[in-house]
Structure 1
Amino acid sequence: MQHNVRKMVLVFTVLLVAGLSGLFLAIAEFNRKYESQLESLGKMQQRVRSLEKELDLRNRQLKDYEITRYRVQAFARRYPLFDRIAQVVFQKSREYGFHPRLVMGVIQVESAFNPKAVSHRGAYGLMQVNLSVWKDELKIDRRRIFDVEYNIDLGLQILKQYSLVAKGNIQRALHLYNNGYKYNNTGYVLRVNSVLFDSDVNQLSRFNLTQPSGQP
Structure 2
Amino acid sequence: MDNSIQNPALRNMYWQEEPTAKEGSPDQKLDQEDFFKLLTQQLNMQDPTKPVENDQMIAQMTNFTMAEGITNMSDQFKTFTENMTSNQALQASTLVGRQVMVPTNEANIPLTGGGANGAIALQQSGFNTKLTVENAQGQVVKNISLGDLEAGVHDFEWDGTDANGNPVPPGNYSISANARMGTSNEELPVQMRAHVNSVSMGGGEGIVLNLRGLGGVKLADVSEIG
TM over 0.5: no
Q: Greater share of helix residues, 1 or 2?
A: 1
| TM-score (normalizing by structure 1) | 0.31
Q: Given the two structures, how large is their TM-score scaled by the length of structure 2?
A: 0.30
